[in-house]
Amino acid sequence: MSRSLTVSRAAQLVGVSRAVLQRMIGAGELAQSEGLVDVDELLRAFPDARVEQSGLLENVTRIREEAFGRRVREFVLPSPELLSQRVLVQSEELAEMRRHLQAYHELVAATIELLDRRPASAALAEETREMLERGLAQVLGSESDNRLDAMTDMLKVVSANVVVRPSGREFLVQGNDSILQAGLKAGLGLNYGCAGGNCGLCKARVISGETRQILQSDYSLSAAERAQGYLLLCAHTAVGDMVIETLEAGSPADIPEQELVARVRALQPLGPNTMLLHLQAPRSARLRFLAGQSVTLGLAQRGGDLHATWPIASCPCDDRNLHFHVARDAGDPLAERLFAGAVKSGDTLGVHGPSGDFVLGTEMPPRAVFLACDTGFGPVKSLIEHAMAAEAVERFSLYWLASRPDGHYLANQCEAWTDAFDEFDYHAASDDDVVRGGSLLAKRALDEGDPGTSRYFIAGPQAFVDAAARRLLRGRRAGRAPVRDHLLTALAPS
Ligand code: FES
Protein backbone atom coordinates (compact mmCIF):
# COMPACT_ATOMS: atom_id res chain seq x y z
CA MET A 1 0.00 0.00 0.00
CA SER A 2 1.29 3.43 -0.94
CA ARG A 3 2.04 5.57 2.12
CA SER A 4 2.79 8.68 0.12
CA LEU A 5 0.67 11.80 -0.29
CA THR A 6 0.69 14.81 -2.56
CA VAL A 7 1.79 18.03 -0.86
CA SER A 8 -1.78 19.41 -0.98
CA ARG A 9 -3.21 16.32 0.64
CA ALA A 10 -0.44 16.22 3.27
CA ALA A 11 -1.07 19.89 4.11
CA GLN A 12 -4.80 19.22 4.41
CA LEU A 13 -4.13 16.27 6.66
CA VAL A 14 -1.91 18.04 9.20
CA GLY A 15 -3.82 21.33 9.00
CA VAL A 16 -1.12 23.66 7.62
CA SER A 17 -0.88 25.55 4.35
CA ARG A 18 0.87 24.10 1.35
CA ALA A 19 3.35 27.00 1.50
CA VAL A 20 4.50 25.81 4.95
CA LEU A 21 5.18 22.29 3.69
CA GLN A 22 6.90 23.63 0.57
CA ARG A 23 9.19 25.75 2.74
CA MET A 24 10.02 22.73 4.93
CA ILE A 25 10.76 20.65 1.84
CA GLY A 26 12.99 23.42 0.49
CA ALA A 27 14.82 23.64 3.84
CA GLY A 28 15.33 19.86 3.95
CA GLU A 29 13.10 19.50 7.03
CA LEU A 30 10.68 17.25 5.18
CA ALA A 31 11.68 14.73 2.54
CA GLN A 32 9.83 14.64 -0.74
CA SER A 33 10.23 12.09 -3.50
CA GLU A 34 8.82 12.63 -6.98
CA GLY A 35 6.48 15.30 -5.63
CA LEU A 36 5.13 13.03 -2.88
CA VAL A 37 5.52 13.18 0.90
CA ASP A 38 5.88 9.96 2.85
CA VAL A 39 3.26 9.60 5.62
CA ASP A 40 5.83 8.41 8.18
CA GLU A 41 8.04 11.39 7.32
CA LEU A 42 5.04 13.65 7.72
CA LEU A 43 4.29 12.24 11.15
CA ARG A 44 7.94 12.64 12.12
CA ALA A 45 7.76 16.32 11.16
CA PHE A 46 4.34 16.79 12.79
CA PRO A 47 4.39 14.35 15.71
CA ASP A 48 1.38 16.03 17.28
CA ALA A 49 -0.71 15.88 14.14
CA ARG A 50 -3.78 13.89 14.93
CA VAL A 51 -6.92 13.84 12.91
CA GLU A 52 -9.00 15.23 15.76
CA GLN A 53 -6.54 18.07 16.45
CA SER A 54 -5.80 19.19 12.92
CA GLY A 55 -9.38 20.25 12.32
CA LEU A 56 -8.91 19.02 8.76
CA LEU A 57 -11.89 19.85 6.63
CA GLU A 58 -13.39 22.24 9.16
CA ASN A 59 -10.10 24.12 9.36
CA VAL A 60 -9.70 24.45 5.61
CA THR A 61 -13.34 25.41 5.21
CA ARG A 62 -13.20 27.95 8.01
CA ILE A 63 -10.12 29.65 6.62
CA ARG A 64 -11.62 29.85 3.15
CA GLU A 65 -14.93 31.08 4.47
CA GLU A 66 -13.35 33.77 6.53
CA ALA A 67 -10.78 34.71 3.94
CA PHE A 68 -13.16 35.31 1.10
CA GLY A 69 -16.53 36.87 0.70
CA ARG A 70 -19.81 35.04 0.54
CA ARG A 71 -19.33 34.60 -3.19
CA VAL A 72 -16.88 31.71 -2.90
CA ARG A 73 -18.05 30.43 0.45
CA GLU A 74 -20.03 27.38 -0.37
CA PHE A 75 -18.20 24.22 0.60
CA VAL A 76 -20.51 21.46 -0.44
CA LEU A 77 -20.12 17.77 -0.73
CA PRO A 78 -19.93 16.35 -4.23
CA SER A 79 -23.14 15.12 -5.84
CA PRO A 80 -24.35 11.64 -4.78
CA GLU A 81 -23.33 10.29 -8.22
CA LEU A 82 -19.80 11.61 -7.89
CA LEU A 83 -19.55 10.43 -4.29
CA SER A 84 -20.61 6.92 -5.26
CA GLN A 85 -18.12 6.89 -8.12
CA ARG A 86 -15.34 7.90 -5.71
CA VAL A 87 -16.46 5.36 -3.12
CA LEU A 88 -16.39 2.72 -5.85
CA VAL A 89 -12.80 3.65 -6.77
CA GLN A 90 -11.82 3.46 -3.09
CA SER A 91 -13.62 0.14 -2.67
CA GLU A 92 -11.81 -1.36 -5.65
CA GLU A 93 -8.47 -0.23 -4.17
CA LEU A 94 -9.47 -1.68 -0.83
CA ALA A 95 -10.53 -5.00 -2.36
CA GLU A 96 -7.20 -5.26 -4.17
CA MET A 97 -5.31 -4.50 -0.99
CA ARG A 98 -7.29 -7.12 0.90
CA ARG A 99 -6.41 -9.72 -1.74
CA HIS A 100 -2.73 -8.81 -1.43
CA LEU A 101 -2.87 -8.86 2.34
CA GLN A 102 -4.54 -12.25 2.36
CA ALA A 103 -1.88 -13.63 0.04
CA TYR A 104 0.94 -12.27 2.24
CA HIS A 105 -0.68 -13.71 5.37
CA GLU A 106 -0.93 -17.11 3.77
CA LEU A 107 2.67 -16.92 2.59
CA VAL A 108 3.94 -16.01 6.06
CA ALA A 109 1.85 -18.69 7.75
CA ALA A 110 3.13 -21.30 5.26
CA THR A 111 6.74 -20.22 5.87
CA ILE A 112 6.31 -20.48 9.64
CA GLU A 113 4.78 -23.91 9.24
CA LEU A 114 7.60 -25.00 6.99
CA LEU A 115 10.16 -23.84 9.53
CA ASP A 116 8.36 -25.84 12.21
CA ARG A 117 8.39 -28.96 10.11
CA ARG A 118 11.92 -28.75 8.67
CA PRO A 119 14.08 -26.44 10.79
CA ALA A 120 17.46 -25.68 9.20
CA SER A 121 18.89 -24.86 12.58
CA ALA A 122 17.10 -23.97 15.78
CA ALA A 123 18.70 -20.51 15.93
CA LEU A 124 17.87 -19.64 12.31
CA ALA A 125 14.33 -20.95 12.68
CA GLU A 126 13.78 -18.88 15.79
CA GLU A 127 15.23 -15.74 14.23
CA THR A 128 13.15 -16.16 11.08
CA ARG A 129 9.97 -16.82 13.06
CA GLU A 130 10.50 -13.70 15.16
CA MET A 131 11.13 -11.61 12.09
CA LEU A 132 7.96 -12.88 10.39
CA GLU A 133 5.85 -12.38 13.49
CA ARG A 134 7.17 -8.85 13.87
CA GLY A 135 6.32 -8.21 10.24
CA LEU A 136 2.81 -9.53 10.71
CA ALA A 137 2.29 -7.33 13.76
CA GLN A 138 3.39 -4.31 11.77
CA VAL A 139 0.84 -5.05 9.09
CA LEU A 140 -1.86 -4.19 11.59
CA GLY A 141 -0.13 -0.87 12.31
CA SER A 142 -0.69 1.49 15.17
CA GLU A 143 -4.08 2.97 15.91
CA SER A 144 -3.02 6.48 14.93
CA ASP A 145 -1.54 5.28 11.62
CA ASN A 146 -4.79 3.47 10.85
CA ARG A 147 -6.75 6.61 11.58
CA LEU A 148 -4.47 8.67 9.40
CA ASP A 149 -4.89 6.20 6.55
CA ALA A 150 -8.65 6.19 7.07
CA MET A 151 -8.71 9.97 7.01
CA THR A 152 -6.64 10.06 3.83
CA ASP A 153 -9.13 7.69 2.21
CA MET A 154 -12.03 9.80 3.42
CA LEU A 155 -10.43 12.92 1.95
CA LYS A 156 -10.12 11.09 -1.36
CA VAL A 157 -13.87 10.55 -1.28
CA VAL A 158 -14.81 14.17 -0.59
CA SER A 159 -12.14 15.76 -2.79
CA ALA A 160 -9.80 14.85 -5.62
CA ASN A 161 -6.22 16.02 -5.97
CA VAL A 162 -5.11 17.38 -9.34
CA VAL A 163 -1.45 17.82 -10.25
CA VAL A 164 -0.69 20.13 -13.18
CA ARG A 165 2.25 19.43 -15.47
CA PRO A 166 4.68 20.92 -16.30
CA SER A 167 4.35 23.46 -13.44
CA GLY A 168 3.95 20.78 -10.76
CA ARG A 169 1.29 22.87 -9.01
CA GLU A 170 -1.61 21.04 -7.46
CA PHE A 171 -5.08 21.71 -6.16
CA LEU A 172 -8.09 19.94 -4.73
CA VAL A 173 -11.41 19.59 -6.50
CA GLN A 174 -14.16 19.91 -3.89
CA GLY A 175 -17.90 19.81 -4.02
CA ASN A 176 -19.34 19.79 -7.52
CA ASP A 177 -16.72 22.10 -8.98
CA SER A 178 -15.40 21.58 -12.47
CA ILE A 179 -11.65 21.07 -12.68
CA LEU A 180 -11.40 24.62 -14.08
CA GLN A 181 -13.40 26.20 -11.22
CA ALA A 182 -11.36 24.33 -8.62
CA GLY A 183 -8.09 25.38 -10.26
CA LEU A 184 -9.17 29.04 -10.35
CA LYS A 185 -10.32 28.97 -6.73
CA ALA A 186 -6.90 27.59 -5.85
CA GLY A 187 -5.30 30.59 -7.54
CA LEU A 188 -3.92 28.89 -10.64
CA GLY A 189 -3.70 30.88 -13.86
CA LEU A 190 -5.33 28.21 -16.01
CA ASN A 191 -6.15 29.09 -19.60
CA TYR A 192 -9.86 29.54 -20.31
CA GLY A 193 -12.44 31.76 -21.93
CA CYS A 194 -16.18 31.17 -21.60
CA ALA A 195 -16.15 28.67 -18.69
CA GLY A 196 -19.25 27.24 -20.36
CA GLY A 197 -18.01 24.64 -22.83
CA ASN A 198 -18.14 26.86 -25.93
CA CYS A 199 -14.70 28.28 -26.73
CA GLY A 200 -12.31 25.35 -26.24
CA LEU A 201 -9.68 27.52 -24.53
CA CYS A 202 -9.63 25.37 -21.39
CA LYS A 203 -8.57 22.31 -23.36
CA ALA A 204 -6.05 20.19 -21.40
CA ARG A 205 -4.58 16.71 -21.64
CA VAL A 206 -5.31 14.15 -18.97
CA ILE A 207 -2.19 12.15 -18.19
CA SER A 208 -3.81 9.97 -15.56
CA GLY A 209 -7.03 9.78 -13.57
CA GLU A 210 -10.71 9.44 -14.17
CA THR A 211 -13.09 12.31 -14.94
CA ARG A 212 -16.81 12.83 -15.17
CA GLN A 213 -18.59 15.21 -17.54
CA ILE A 214 -20.79 17.69 -15.68
CA LEU A 215 -21.62 20.16 -18.45
CA GLN A 216 -22.85 19.70 -21.99
CA SER A 217 -20.44 21.50 -24.30
CA ASP A 218 -20.94 22.91 -27.78
CA TYR A 219 -17.25 22.86 -28.54
CA SER A 220 -16.13 19.59 -30.11
CA LEU A 221 -12.69 18.20 -29.74
CA SER A 222 -11.21 16.46 -32.77
CA ALA A 223 -10.96 12.68 -32.79
CA ALA A 224 -7.16 13.01 -32.56
CA GLU A 225 -7.43 15.25 -29.49
CA ARG A 226 -9.85 12.88 -27.79
CA ALA A 227 -7.54 9.95 -28.55
CA GLN A 228 -4.67 11.84 -26.91
CA GLY A 229 -6.72 12.38 -23.76
CA TYR A 230 -7.73 16.02 -24.22
CA LEU A 231 -10.88 17.33 -22.56
CA LEU A 232 -12.46 20.63 -21.54
CA LEU A 233 -11.61 21.47 -17.94
CA CYS A 234 -14.76 23.59 -17.57
CA ALA A 235 -17.03 20.68 -18.50
CA HIS A 236 -15.50 17.95 -16.33
CA THR A 237 -14.86 17.19 -12.71
CA ALA A 238 -12.31 14.79 -11.24
CA VAL A 239 -13.51 11.43 -9.99
CA GLY A 240 -10.21 10.62 -8.33
CA ASP A 241 -6.70 11.98 -8.05
CA MET A 242 -5.38 12.95 -11.43
CA VAL A 243 -2.53 14.50 -13.39
CA ILE A 244 -3.20 16.93 -16.24
CA GLU A 245 -1.01 18.77 -18.70
CA THR A 246 -1.74 22.41 -19.48
CA LEU A 247 -0.05 25.79 -19.53
CA GLU A 248 -0.74 28.47 -16.93
CA ALA A 249 -0.47 32.22 -17.06
CA GLY A 250 2.57 33.31 -15.08
CA SER A 251 2.69 36.99 -15.98
CA PRO A 252 0.42 39.71 -17.41
CA ALA A 253 1.89 39.02 -20.87
CA ASP A 254 0.16 35.61 -20.80
CA ILE A 255 -3.32 37.12 -20.38
CA PRO A 256 -5.07 38.27 -23.58
CA GLU A 257 -6.91 41.58 -23.84
CA GLN A 258 -10.64 41.09 -23.49
CA GLU A 259 -13.79 43.11 -24.11
CA LEU A 260 -17.03 42.34 -22.38
CA VAL A 261 -20.14 44.00 -21.07
CA ALA A 262 -20.85 43.58 -17.36
CA ARG A 263 -23.92 44.43 -15.37
CA VAL A 264 -23.91 46.52 -12.20
CA ARG A 265 -24.90 44.09 -9.47
CA ALA A 266 -24.64 46.53 -6.57
CA LEU A 267 -23.35 49.91 -5.51
CA GLN A 268 -22.62 50.01 -1.83
CA PRO A 269 -21.26 53.00 0.08
CA LEU A 270 -18.22 52.05 2.17
CA GLY A 271 -18.02 55.58 3.53
CA PRO A 272 -19.29 59.03 2.52
CA ASN A 273 -16.57 59.23 -0.15
CA THR A 274 -15.88 55.60 -0.95
CA MET A 275 -18.10 53.30 -3.01
CA LEU A 276 -17.99 49.57 -3.67
CA LEU A 277 -18.92 48.93 -7.29
CA HIS A 278 -19.85 45.30 -7.88
CA LEU A 279 -20.03 44.23 -11.53
CA GLN A 280 -21.12 40.83 -12.73
CA ALA A 281 -19.85 39.41 -16.00
CA PRO A 282 -22.12 37.18 -18.10
CA ARG A 283 -21.76 33.44 -17.48
CA SER A 284 -20.45 32.95 -20.98
CA ALA A 285 -17.95 35.86 -21.04
CA ARG A 286 -15.97 36.24 -17.85
CA LEU A 287 -12.87 38.30 -17.31
CA ARG A 288 -9.60 36.46 -17.06
CA PHE A 289 -7.10 38.52 -15.06
CA LEU A 290 -4.34 38.30 -12.49
CA ALA A 291 -4.88 39.62 -8.98
CA GLY A 292 -3.86 43.27 -8.69
CA GLN A 293 -4.55 44.14 -12.34
CA SER A 294 -6.84 46.95 -13.54
CA VAL A 295 -9.49 47.29 -16.23
CA THR A 296 -10.90 50.24 -18.15
CA LEU A 297 -14.61 50.67 -17.59
CA GLY A 298 -16.78 52.52 -20.05
CA LEU A 299 -20.20 54.06 -19.48
CA ALA A 300 -22.15 54.87 -22.62
CA GLN A 301 -24.06 58.15 -22.42
CA ARG A 302 -25.31 60.94 -24.61
CA GLY A 303 -22.57 63.41 -25.39
CA GLY A 304 -19.74 60.83 -25.28
CA ASP A 305 -18.75 57.75 -23.31
CA LEU A 306 -17.04 58.08 -19.94
CA HIS A 307 -14.01 55.94 -19.22
CA ALA A 308 -11.91 55.22 -16.16
CA THR A 309 -9.19 52.69 -15.39
CA TRP A 310 -9.58 51.24 -11.92
CA PRO A 311 -7.83 48.38 -10.14
CA ILE A 312 -9.94 45.29 -9.43
CA ALA A 313 -10.45 44.71 -5.72
CA SER A 314 -11.63 41.09 -5.93
CA CYS A 315 -9.91 37.77 -6.50
CA PRO A 316 -9.57 36.17 -9.94
CA CYS A 317 -10.74 32.97 -8.23
CA ASP A 318 -14.25 34.44 -8.64
CA ASP A 319 -14.02 35.67 -12.20
CA ARG A 320 -17.70 36.61 -12.67
CA ASN A 321 -17.88 39.09 -9.82
CA LEU A 322 -15.61 42.11 -10.16
CA HIS A 323 -15.31 44.55 -7.28
CA PHE A 324 -13.88 48.09 -7.35
CA HIS A 325 -13.24 50.52 -4.50
CA VAL A 326 -14.03 53.91 -5.96
CA ALA A 327 -13.09 57.19 -4.26
CA ARG A 328 -15.07 60.38 -4.89
CA ASP A 329 -12.86 62.36 -7.21
CA ALA A 330 -13.81 65.55 -8.97
CA GLY A 331 -11.21 64.80 -11.64
CA ASP A 332 -12.81 61.44 -12.49
CA PRO A 333 -16.14 61.96 -14.30
CA LEU A 334 -17.11 58.28 -14.08
CA ALA A 335 -16.58 58.24 -10.30
CA GLU A 336 -18.62 61.44 -10.06
CA ARG A 337 -21.49 59.79 -11.98
CA LEU A 338 -21.45 56.87 -9.53
CA PHE A 339 -21.63 59.18 -6.52
CA ALA A 340 -24.31 61.28 -8.21
CA GLY A 341 -26.53 58.18 -8.43
CA ALA A 342 -26.53 58.26 -12.25
CA VAL A 343 -25.51 54.58 -12.41
CA LYS A 344 -27.94 52.05 -10.99
CA SER A 345 -28.08 48.37 -10.29
CA GLY A 346 -28.83 46.56 -13.56
CA ASP A 347 -27.05 49.14 -15.79
CA THR A 348 -24.26 47.89 -18.01
CA LEU A 349 -20.65 49.00 -18.28
CA GLY A 350 -18.09 48.06 -20.91
CA VAL A 351 -15.03 46.28 -19.52
CA HIS A 352 -11.71 46.36 -21.38
CA GLY A 353 -8.50 44.81 -20.12
CA PRO A 354 -6.87 43.63 -17.99
CA SER A 355 -3.82 45.88 -17.71
CA GLY A 356 -0.98 46.47 -15.28
CA ASP A 357 1.78 44.44 -13.70
CA PHE A 358 0.96 44.91 -10.01
CA VAL A 359 0.80 41.12 -9.59
CA LEU A 360 2.18 38.47 -7.25
CA GLY A 361 4.64 36.85 -9.66
CA THR A 362 5.57 33.20 -9.76
CA GLU A 363 8.36 33.10 -7.18
CA MET A 364 7.19 34.35 -3.79
CA PRO A 365 9.42 34.49 -0.72
CA PRO A 366 7.85 33.30 2.57
CA ARG A 367 6.54 36.75 3.59
CA ALA A 368 4.44 39.24 1.64
CA VAL A 369 4.26 42.82 2.95
CA PHE A 370 1.46 45.07 1.69
CA LEU A 371 1.46 48.84 2.18
CA ALA A 372 -1.79 50.49 1.14
CA CYS A 373 -3.12 54.02 1.38
CA ASP A 374 -6.86 54.75 1.20
CA THR A 375 -8.47 52.96 -1.81
CA GLY A 376 -5.05 51.50 -2.64
CA PHE A 377 -6.42 48.85 -0.32
CA GLY A 378 -8.58 47.58 -3.26
CA PRO A 379 -5.82 46.02 -5.42
CA VAL A 380 -4.01 44.92 -2.26
CA LYS A 381 -7.14 43.05 -1.17
CA SER A 382 -7.18 41.30 -4.55
CA LEU A 383 -3.54 40.24 -4.10
CA ILE A 384 -4.11 39.03 -0.54
CA GLU A 385 -7.15 36.95 -1.48
CA HIS A 386 -5.29 35.45 -4.40
CA ALA A 387 -2.19 34.65 -2.32
CA MET A 388 -4.43 32.98 0.26
CA ALA A 389 -6.26 30.96 -2.39
CA ALA A 390 -2.99 29.88 -3.99
CA GLU A 391 -1.36 29.29 -0.59
CA ALA A 392 1.59 31.08 -2.15
CA VAL A 393 2.76 32.87 1.00
CA GLU A 394 3.44 31.74 4.55
CA ARG A 395 3.18 35.08 6.28
CA PHE A 396 1.21 38.24 5.49
CA SER A 397 1.79 41.74 6.85
CA LEU A 398 -0.68 44.46 5.94
CA TYR A 399 -0.05 48.14 6.71
CA TRP A 400 -2.97 50.40 5.79
CA LEU A 401 -2.70 54.18 5.99
CA ALA A 402 -5.93 56.20 6.04
CA SER A 403 -5.47 59.83 4.99
CA ARG A 404 -9.17 60.64 4.50
CA PRO A 405 -12.13 60.83 6.90
CA ASP A 406 -13.49 57.54 5.43
CA GLY A 407 -10.63 55.83 7.27
CA HIS A 408 -10.12 52.06 7.11
CA TYR A 409 -13.43 51.39 5.42
CA LEU A 410 -13.01 47.58 5.43
CA ALA A 411 -11.30 47.14 8.78
CA ASN A 412 -13.63 44.21 9.54
CA GLN A 413 -12.27 42.33 6.55
CA CYS A 414 -8.70 42.85 7.80
CA GLU A 415 -9.63 41.69 11.28
CA ALA A 416 -11.32 38.58 9.83
CA TRP A 417 -8.05 37.71 8.06
CA THR A 418 -6.13 38.22 11.29
CA ASP A 419 -8.53 35.90 13.12
CA ALA A 420 -8.52 33.25 10.40
CA PHE A 421 -4.75 33.06 9.89
CA ASP A 422 -2.08 32.73 12.56
CA GLU A 423 0.44 34.27 10.21
CA PHE A 424 -1.45 37.43 9.29
CA ASP A 425 -0.69 40.73 10.96
CA TYR A 426 -2.61 43.91 10.30
CA HIS A 427 -1.50 47.45 11.21
CA ALA A 428 -3.77 50.44 10.73
CA ALA A 429 -2.42 54.01 10.77
CA SER A 430 -3.93 57.42 10.10
CA ASP A 431 -2.17 60.52 8.83
CA ASP A 432 -3.41 63.17 6.43
CA ASP A 433 0.16 63.68 5.21
CA VAL A 434 0.60 60.70 2.88
CA VAL A 435 4.33 61.33 2.39
CA ARG A 436 5.04 61.25 6.12
CA GLY A 437 2.60 58.37 6.61
CA GLY A 438 4.10 56.34 3.75
CA SER A 439 7.63 56.81 5.04
CA LEU A 440 6.67 55.86 8.62
CA LEU A 441 4.75 52.77 7.52
CA ALA A 442 7.67 51.63 5.38
CA LYS A 443 10.07 52.10 8.29
CA ARG A 444 7.77 50.06 10.51
CA ALA A 445 7.53 47.32 7.90
CA LEU A 446 11.33 47.19 7.72
CA ASP A 447 11.66 47.08 11.52
CA GLU A 448 9.16 44.24 11.81
CA GLY A 449 10.45 41.88 9.12
CA ASP A 450 13.47 40.63 7.28
CA PRO A 451 13.76 42.19 3.79
CA GLY A 452 15.75 39.14 2.70
CA THR A 453 12.71 36.89 3.03
CA SER A 454 9.96 39.37 2.08
CA ARG A 455 8.36 40.81 -1.01
CA TYR A 456 6.80 44.29 -0.82
CA PHE A 457 3.70 45.64 -2.54
CA ILE A 458 2.71 49.32 -2.33
CA ALA A 459 -0.54 50.82 -3.61
CA GLY A 460 -2.03 54.27 -3.16
CA PRO A 461 -1.57 57.89 -4.24
CA GLN A 462 1.66 58.57 -6.14
CA ALA A 463 3.16 60.63 -3.28
CA PHE A 464 2.53 57.78 -0.81
CA VAL A 465 3.99 55.17 -3.17
CA ASP A 466 7.11 57.28 -3.81
CA ALA A 467 7.70 57.97 -0.10
CA ALA A 468 7.22 54.34 0.95
CA ALA A 469 9.34 52.99 -1.92
CA ARG A 470 12.16 55.47 -1.17
CA ARG A 471 12.22 54.38 2.48
CA LEU A 472 12.17 50.68 1.66
CA LEU A 473 14.93 50.97 -0.93
CA ARG A 474 17.08 52.98 1.49
CA GLY A 475 16.85 50.31 4.19
CA ARG A 476 16.62 50.60 7.95
CA ARG A 477 19.92 52.25 8.68
CA ALA A 478 23.47 52.29 7.39
CA GLY A 479 24.94 48.83 7.22
CA ARG A 480 21.56 47.12 7.10
CA ALA A 481 20.32 45.56 3.85
CA PRO A 482 17.64 47.59 2.04
CA VAL A 483 14.81 46.04 0.06
CA ARG A 484 16.10 44.92 -3.30
CA ASP A 485 14.51 46.57 -6.31
CA HIS A 486 13.07 43.41 -7.84
CA LEU A 487 11.27 42.58 -4.57
CA LEU A 488 9.24 45.78 -4.71
CA THR A 489 6.07 46.21 -6.78
CA ALA A 490 4.06 49.42 -6.76
CA LEU A 491 0.82 50.78 -8.12
CA ALA A 492 -0.37 54.36 -8.08
CA PRO A 493 -3.78 54.36 -9.79
CA SER A 494 -4.25 57.68 -11.55
S1 FES B 1 -13.53 27.80 -21.02
FE2 FES B 1 -14.55 27.84 -22.92
S3 FES B 1 -14.82 25.75 -23.34
FE4 FES B 1 -14.00 25.74 -21.36
- pLDDT tens-digit series, residues 428-441: 999 999 999 999 99
Q: Which residue has the higher pLDDT, 373 or 93?
A: 373
**For range 452-462, the mean pLDDT:** 93
Pocket-testing residue among 184, 194, 220, 284, ligand 1, by greatest number of atoms within 8 A of Cβ:
194
Q: Domains of the chain by range and CATH?
A: 4-72 (no CATH), 161-249 (3.10.20.30), 253-355 (2.40.30.10), 367-491 (3.40.50.80)
- Ligand 1, atom 1, lies closest to the CA of 195
pLDDT band at 63 (very low <50, low <70, confident <90, very high): very low
Q: Which residue has the higher pLDDT, 44 or 278?
A: 278
Pocket-testing residue among 220, 221, 232, ligand 1, by greatest number of atoms within 8 A of Cβ:
232
pLDDT band at 377 (very low <50, low <70, confident <90, very high): very high
Tell me the three-class secondary structure of the chain, residue by residue. Answer: CCCEEEHHHHHHHHCCCHHHHHHHHHCCCCCEECCEEEHHHHHHHCCCCCHHHHCHHHHHHHHHHHHCCHHHCCCCCCCHHHHHHHHHHHHHHHHHHHHHHHHHHHHHHHHHHHHHHCCCCHHHHHHHHHHHHHHHHHHHCCHHHHHHHHHHHHHHHHEEEEEEECCCCEEEEECCCCHHHHHHHCCCCECCCCCCCCCCCCEEEEEECCEEECCCCCCCCCHHHHHCCEEEHHHEEECCCEEEECCECCCHHHCCCEEEEEEEEEEEEEECCEEEEEEECCCCCCCCCCCCCEEEEEECCCCCCEEEEEECCCCCCCCCEEEEEEECCCCCHHHHHHHCCCCCCCCEEEEEEEECCCCCCCCCCCEEEEEEEHHHHHHHHHHHHHHHHHCCCCEEEEEEEECCCCCCCCHHHHHHHHHHCCCEEEEEEECCCHHHHHHHHHHHHHHCCCHHHEEEEEECCHHHHHHHHHHHHHCCCCCCCCCCHHHEEEECCC
**Residues above pLDDT 90, as percent of the chain:** 46
Q: 184 in ligand 1 pocket by Cβ < 6 Å?
A: no
Question: Ligand 1 centre and the CA of 76: distance in Å?
Answer: 23
Question: Ligand 1 centre and the CA of 230: distance in Å?
Answer: 13
pLDDT at 412 over 60: yes
Q: 195 in ligand 1 pocket by Cβ < 6 Å?
A: yes
Question: Ligand 1 centre and the CA of 259: distance in Å?
Answer: 16
Q: 200 in ligand 1 pocket by Cβ < 6 Å?
A: yes
What's the whole-model pTM score?
0.77
Ligand 1: nearest atom to the Cα of 203: 4
